Amino acid sequence: MTSSEHSGDMNLQTRNPLIVDVSCQECARHSTPECADCLVSYVIGGTPEHLSLSSSLAAAADVLVSEGLLPELKYRPGSPSSPH
């Protein structure tokens, strides 16, 4: 089951309290300017098909985002052709 969890400025999709899942291929912002300025693209250097982070790694990223050291997660569920 997927639920939405708000952590600072990031809107993370979780399948349980310990894992944060992001599917770049299913993101409404895939291959857009927002995609290029997303936490995932910045850290990974590309857009992986699927990315899972533990809640502790997501919390650490949230601290870095809140301090302006990393761009925020721009993931939004939906097809890339969906309106933004």
pLDDT in tens, 29-67: 999 999 999 999 988 888 888 888 888 888 899 999 999
String of DSSP letters for 6-24: EETTEEEEEEETTEEEE-G
Residue 54's φ and ψ, nearest 5 degrees, are -70, 160
- SS3 category, 27: strand
CA 39, 46, 82, 21 torsion-angle sign: negative
> For the whole model, what pTM was predicted?
0.66
Per-domain boundaries in the chain: 3-66
- Contact (CB, 8 A) for 74 and 29: yes
- Residue 66: Cβ-neighbour burial (10 angstroms; 0-12, 13-18, 19+): middle
| pLDDT at 27 exceeding the cut of 50 | yes
